[in-house]
Structure 1
């Protein structure tokens, strides 16, 4: 396949490896806890810290604050903001890797991965699922997401820190995770959607953009320049946006994404999670920099509250989860994604080979953070959720397989 211009070479921020280690640390501790003392583990993460008696027009069901939902619905919104910012810059900024026709190949690979994972989930679950509470296609949104930080950790070891395939992998995982959580929220069978509430994040974002989000003109007064650097308007808009998304019935973790386009930002993209962006002082990058260390704690807490793996939970749902991630996603990416690319005459980015795309597809057979967020609404509680969680944990074995493929010698070609 011919090539198009490639991704720029740049250093990725050290935040991502730190995030991955924090997440794995939380998962490891939670897994040890839940297998040694399951009652105390579940009592701890589901402990009611506060019961809120909210009016029905704001929350149709009673709301209890627990470590579980504070982390998943509240704190993880900052993580989604952090990765959503990178996707927005890739789509809109100068030299962004998803501008114009360059977006078509990654979009095809993402679409293929989503379709392949969901189709295999439906087929395999019909063949092997035995749970009484399972209906046709129950849980199909679970395998749609991947895992940005864990895939990056494996991808850096497989490709090297500066390889353009690593940057394509980041694009695909960010886009897949964002779409997967949105789809899971829209497809949740037991969630009452009240989409009129989305007018609140829309209004908050438009107001923030109109009043503060446009970069000052070159001849603007110093007072205007200072106003353009303020962060509090975006913090207020973010709070209103989160409230509107949560009240709408969509996953609250998506609540900060609507304000990203409204925040004043640099004009040029330095690359996904580029280390060079730490030198930028526009409001969007300042907010991202301020989150870098707190998100380390957030991902540890997410692993601790959502990552406890019951090692005795193996069931047909575990097989379905693994089939969707290990077979459905890679096949969908390669057959649908590359097939669409060939039909449209799209080219691989410079420096990326078909073998690299195969390794990317294998690495994206890993799924944890976003799929775990989807479990609560996509599957009935209890055994099916725990079996799927075990499948998600086992899917991380795709990482060592990708490293073995990376060390395999490339096929020799005749001159």
Structure 2
């Protein structure tokens, strides 16, 4: 009975159940009982020692999301560790990196062009909303569209990881906390946290809980008092957790068909490194394995706190965000894949053009991080924040469309020989 429950629970997590149910509850609550939703989610009513009175939304975004970004960082570190030498990094990650770059620059550029064309330069602050890709939903859509064993899934994961790196940098540098002034001296606490993480990892290499707790609290305190988002507190700490020697990908031969990720890996909502090839029992892997499940479940709370958008708040900004994600991500990622294919530079994508299109379409969903950025970008303007969140919610439709198109055209799941790609 217990094993059946755990298996069902894992499937529920794999298919983004907590996140989607949280969104559904939040939308129903915010539209049927808006005053109640605002009172419980957005009005400060929780007293925290040393912080003051905060809202449930603040607690989720600034405390729970610390673990979210920590797990994302663990996945990033593990992915690059498996690539081995710099030659492997260049050979196997170049095309996904180019696709990630195009998939960030295109939607951001399209968004900025649209808001200035519409005469709303004050909306430009929201450009970071369209840079993100929701790893869970993108993986889910691509998996349904192409099948779990399709090589495009590995490509998608590397693109989504890159997008999340960019999103974390955008949050750190472009969205300081609106309720606090920037105090650069407080960043000395973050520097101290990094030193502590390094020392503890060397002195007590197996005690990852102690290391992340002590160094993470110092980092969170420093970011909070510096006026930056403390949710990024574990980002500079997690890379110092020891990790085992993981078999590298291939032998440095760019023409190899080996992939940085296997198609059978289960990602969890944020890319669970515990399911990677070369799985071990290192502190980094135990950190990810221990937290990825609770983070997956906790996304119900994140969606509940951030997904309550009244339909009456849908506006022009919602459309700009949704369309920038759609056309920018699809055009950028597809163009990058075609470019590397055309010039034959390094490792071209190993699947046909329709599969590349489906991957790009799945990547247009920026739900989780986009909601987080929308809250930071328009913190002082409730109407714009609601419009921006609505645009992020609309991106769910792109994942559904990718899944439908992939199922509708099963031929898109087939790999084609390199010589046949021109006709695809």
TM-score by length of 2: 0.80
Residue aligning to 1:178 = 165
Q: C-alpha distance in 1, partners of 2:97/2:106? A: 14
Residue aligning to 1:334 = 334
Contact kept in structure 1, 2:201 and 2:242, CA below 8 Å: yes
Residue aligning to 2:213 = 235
Q: C-alpha distance in 1, partners of 2:186/2:340? A: 37
In the TM superposition, residue 286 of structure 1 has moved relative to its aligned partner by: 1.3
Of the candidates 32, 38, 44, which is equivalent to residue 28 of structure 2?
A: 32
Asked if 1:135 corresponds to 2:116, the answer is: no
Residue aligning to 1:286 = 286
In the TM superposition, residue 250 of structure 1 has moved relative to its aligned partner by: 2.7
**What SS does structure 2 have at the residue aligned with 1:93?**
helix
Computed over aligned residues only, the root mean square deviation of the Cα atoms, in angstroms, reads 3.1
Structure 2 unmatched runs, 5+: 1-8, 248-259, 262-270
Residues 234 and 399 from structure 1, CA distance in 2 versus in 1: closer, same or farther, beyond 3 angstroms?
closer
**What SS does structure 1 have at the residue aligned with 2:364?**
coil
Q: C-alpha distance in 2, partners of 1:203/1:107? A: 32
Contact kept in structure 2, 1:47 and 1:66, CA below 8 Å: yes
Contact kept in structure 2, 1:80 and 1:178, CA below 8 Å: no
Greater share of residues in helix: 2
Residue aligning to 2:266 = none
Asked if 1:250 corresponds to 2:211, the answer is: no
Contact kept in structure 1, 2:205 and 2:241, CA below 8 Å: no
**Deviation per CA, 1:249-295, whole angstroms, max 9, x where unpaired?**
33222110111121111110694635257963211111212213321
**Deviation per CA, 1:25-84, whole angstroms, max 9, x where unpaired?**
111001000000000001001242445685xxxxxxx75322101111110111111121
Residue aligning to 2:268 = none
Contact kept in structure 2, 1:185 and 1:249, CA below 8 Å: no
Residue aligning to 2:101 = 111
Contact kept in structure 2, 1:201 and 1:245, CA below 8 Å: yes
**Deviation per CA, 1:333-365, whole angstroms, max 9, x where unpaired?**
23356547756823225x433332221111111
Q: C-alpha distance in 1, partners of 2:80/2:278? A: 20
Residue range with higher mean Cα deviation, 310-319 or 352-361: 352-361
Q: C-alpha distance in 1, partners of 2:168/2:200? A: 30
Question: Which residues in structure 2 correspond to 1:158-173 (within 5 Å)?
Answer: 158-173=145-160
Q: C-alpha distance in 2, partners of 1:259/1:392? A: 29
Q: C-alpha distance in 1, partners of 2:325/2:70? A: 25
Residues 17 and 324 from structure 1, CA distance in 2 versus in 1: closer, same or farther, beyond 3 angstroms?
same
Q: C-alpha distance in 2, partners of 1:30/1:119? A: 31
Residue range with higher mean Cα deviation, 272-281 or 114-123: 272-281
Contact kept in structure 2, 1:96 and 1:268, CA below 8 Å: no
Contact kept in structure 1, 2:93 and 2:158, CA below 8 Å: no
Residues 260 and 161 from structure 1, CA distance in 2 versus in 1: closer, same or farther, beyond 3 angstroms?
same
Contact kept in structure 1, 2:81 and 2:246, CA below 8 Å: no
Residue aligning to 2:367 = 368
Q: C-alpha distance in 2, partners of 1:72/1:278? A: 33
